[in-house]
Amino acid sequence: MPKESVFSLNIDGLKQVLDLNLIGTILPTQIFGEEIAKHGSGSIVNISSMASQQAITKVLGYSLAKAGIEIYTKWFSVELANRYGDQIRMNAIAPGFFLTEQNRDLLTNPDGSFKERGKLVVQNTPFKRFGRPDELSGALVYLLSDASKFVSGTVLTVDGGFSIFSGV
């Protein structure tokens, strides 16, 4: 059990994570979205996370930011539709657990074996493995292409079944 009190969150650290992840998603939309609007049509795809959909320990700020990205995606897609019809769409991808440089130390030991947290993730993923970065490409291409022309405000989960598995 953690020794720190749950009532003494590092608010400055929380704000930094929110600023990086949430505002860091909103600002590019403000800049590039305006350019898309000037030139006709397009599709914007944000990156969410499993941390937005389930309580995952040790990542409160990240979870809050990613949940914010999901509602921002839905809210902004409605605003885009109200102003531009079907010309500009916004969706998001919610990746499950992908082994990256950002989380490698949290999930694996230096020899590549899984730490307890890594074991729990794999155990609770029906595919029994982490995702590979190239496995996000299909979802991204779909959301950017005309194949999803009638899709807006959607969060597409790419997680090997993690989000739907009860563990039983």
Per annotation, catalytic residue among 62, 72, 84, 142? 62
Q: CA 130 → CA 107, 118, 133, distances in Å?
A: 10, 9, 10
CA of residue 44 relative to chain centroid, distance: 14
DSSP string spanning 92-103? EEEE--B--TTT
Place of tokens 């030139």: 39
Active site residue 84: no
Query: Where in the sequence numbering do the catalytic residues fall?
Result: 62
